[in-house]
Amino acid sequence: MRVERLTVGPLDVNCYILWDDTSHEAIIIDPGAEPNRILDTVARLGLTVKMIVNTHGHIDHTGANKEIKEALDCPILMHQDDLYLLNDDCGIPIAELIGASTAPPPDRTLADGEKLNLGNSSVEIIHTPGHTPGSVCLLADGTTLFTGDTLFVSALGRTDLPGGSQSQLLRSIRERLLTLSDDTIVLPGHAYGPPRSTIGQERQTNPFLT
């Protein structure tokens, strides 16, 4: 599988376009803003987008869902436990800041352990509550982990927003992510630091985990 990263919006969200190199079927992960830029990239790469997947329901990660869905006629997928965030008044000021649209409800919800297929490749959903109740990570072909706002390079996702839980976040990381192979690539949800890490590096050097 191949990956293109676009850092979008004033909150520097990492939107990822993930695709199978044989079929050119793709997933857009966290289209938070700048829908035209995302769509232009999809067209340039010659991809067929099968779905939009949100790692969680915060508006900075869902703000371009509406435009992408309407342009590409593809379904939106999100975990059930974050649906309440789509109608959360707390997200309105952020939406105005980043010029985001209110995200429509997902076409279906994600379940822990399910596999999303792209051609001959697959993406596993890992439920990692803590940043939000419905946060998920995506493990592509067992080698690359898209961590949303759960795990950053040498940092963790914030837990001071409604629905956040530090104890739950740490449990999710230790029990669901640090059990993966050390060479698993980590691609976080914001461009606040280095663009990538590995599970082994985070296990050894992340000050919140050591």
Would you list the domain boundaries of the chain?
2-205
202: Cα separation from own chain's centroid:
18
How is residue 105 annotated by DSSP? Answer: P
Q: What is the pTM of this model?
A: 0.95
Owner of token pair 């990822």: 16
pLDDT in tens, the chain (210 residues): 999 999 999 999 999 999 999 999 999 999 999 999 999 999 999 999 999 999 999 999 999 999 999 999 999 999 999 999 987 666 666 677 767 778 899 999 999 999 999 999 999 999 999 999 999 999 999 999 999 999 999 999 999 998 999 999 999 999 999 999 999 999 999 998 899 999 999 999 999 998
Identify whether the C-beta of residue 67 lies closer than 8 Å to the C-beta of residue 92. Answer: no
Identify whether the C-beta of residue 38 lies closer than 8 Å to the C-beta of residue 4. Answer: no
Query: Which CATH topology does 2-205 take?
Result: Metallo-beta-lactamase; Chain A (3.60.15)
- 149: which residues sit within 8 A by CB, 6+ positions away? 55, 56, 58, 61, 131, 132, 135, 157, 158, 188, 189, 190
